[in-house]
A = this chain, B = another copy of it.
Amino acid sequence: MKKKIVLVGLGLIGGSLAKALRANTQHEVLGIDTDEDSLLDACACGAVDGKATKGDLKEADIVYLCVYPEAAVEFVRQYGKCLKPGCIVTDTCGVKGKICSELKREQENCEFYFVAGHPMAGKEFSGFPASDPSIFVGASYLIAPCGAPEWAVKEISELAAAMGFGRVVLTTPEQHDQVIAFTSQVPHVLACAYVMSPRCREHQGFSAGSYRDVSRVARINEVLWSRLFLDNRESLVKELDTLLENIGKIRDAVAGKDEQKLRELLRTAAEIKREVG
């Protein structure tokens, strides 16, 4: 059955989802964006079938919130009541604890179902011009059901599979935020801290793959990521403290010329990496 899908926010993620939905499903895909240029671009290149009016919103079967966490909550606060009964609202925010509790609260006076989502894909550029559905191919799509009925979770999962995601992983907001602090947030902190070394300006000609890989995501959107870091403050600080401690151990073994200890630390790391991939 052809459904009406509305994407709120047509940046890197919203734009990519729109393109993936248009290319891989028969549904009607409509967009909303406060930036008129992004909306015009998306319409012009066929990433969406058109702009979503308030009327479309009332008829929507699924709404993807692809904006900053606060804007997502604000959107639901403003339009949640006009969504039809059984409409599925899902988001794409990188931290789940806060948005899940806030949207659950909004849901109480409304008739939509909220399913939290996090497509584990991205790149170090932002905005609609950077959007590209191929970033989703083979990636994980994380879903925290947040009390939504099974059919709604199934629907979001099936759309993820249709868009090319490699697997859907069901999680809770708490587990999500703890693991994501490690897998995604720490590498972003690291990349930023790394390029702050005065030596960074001398790297050209002296660098290879490992410089490129560690520094890649330092090309960060500081407004978005500051918010994501603060929304996941406890888990992130805990992970950073673990990391600081482990870097410190290697540093001390080098400073103390303790070759045996150093080998032991590096061997442990190599074993973990070989085991967990």
Q: Which residues of A line the B interface, CB within 8 A?
A: 120-123, 139-140, 142, 167, 169, 171, 176, 178-184, 186-211, 213-223, 225-227, 229-230, 233, 236-237, 239-244, 246-251, 254-255, 257, 259, 262-263, 265-270, 272-274, 276-277
Number of copies: 2
B184 and A222 form a contact (CB under 8 A):
no
A222 and B122 form a contact (CB under 8 A):
no
CA distance A195 to B276 in the complex (A): 9
Min CB distance A155 to B, Å, is 20
B273 and A219 form a contact (CB under 8 A):
yes
A208 and B139 form a contact (CB under 8 A):
yes
Residue among B169, B243, B266 making CB contact with A225, cutoff 8 Å: B266
B209 and A182 form a contact (CB under 8 A):
no
Q: For A176, A221, A227, A243, which residue has the most chain B Cβ atoms within 10 angstroms?
A: A243
Residue among B184, B215, B263 making CB contact with A223, cutoff 8 Å: B263
Residue among B169, B193, B209 making CB contact with A122, cutoff 8 Å: B209
Name the CB-closest residue of B to A251: B240
Name the CB-closest residue of B to A272: B195
B257 and A204 form a contact (CB under 8 A):
no
A246 and B205 form a contact (CB under 8 A):
no
CA distance A218 to B277 in the complex (A): 10
Q: For A167, A206, A207, A263, which residue has the most chain B Cβ atoms within 10 angstroms?
A: A206
B183 and A239 form a contact (CB under 8 A):
no
Residue among B184, B194, B213 making CB contact with A216, cutoff 8 Å: B213
Tell me which residues across on chain B come within 8 A of A193, comparing CB atoms.
243, 246-247, 249-250, 269
Given A195-B276, A198-B242, A218-B272, A247 contacting B206 (CB threshold 8 A): no
Name the CB-closest residue of B to A259: B226
Q: For A219, A220, A250, which residue has the most chain B Cβ atoms within 10 angstroms?
A: A250
Q: For A221, A243, A254, which residue has the most chain B Cβ atoms within 10 angstroms?
A: A254
Tell me which residues across on chain B come within 8 A of A183, comparing CB atoms.
199, 203, 206-208, 210-211
Residue among B196, B202, B217, B259 making CB contact with A268, cutoff 8 Å: B196
Residue among B186, B208, B211, B230 making CB contact with A257, cutoff 8 Å: B230
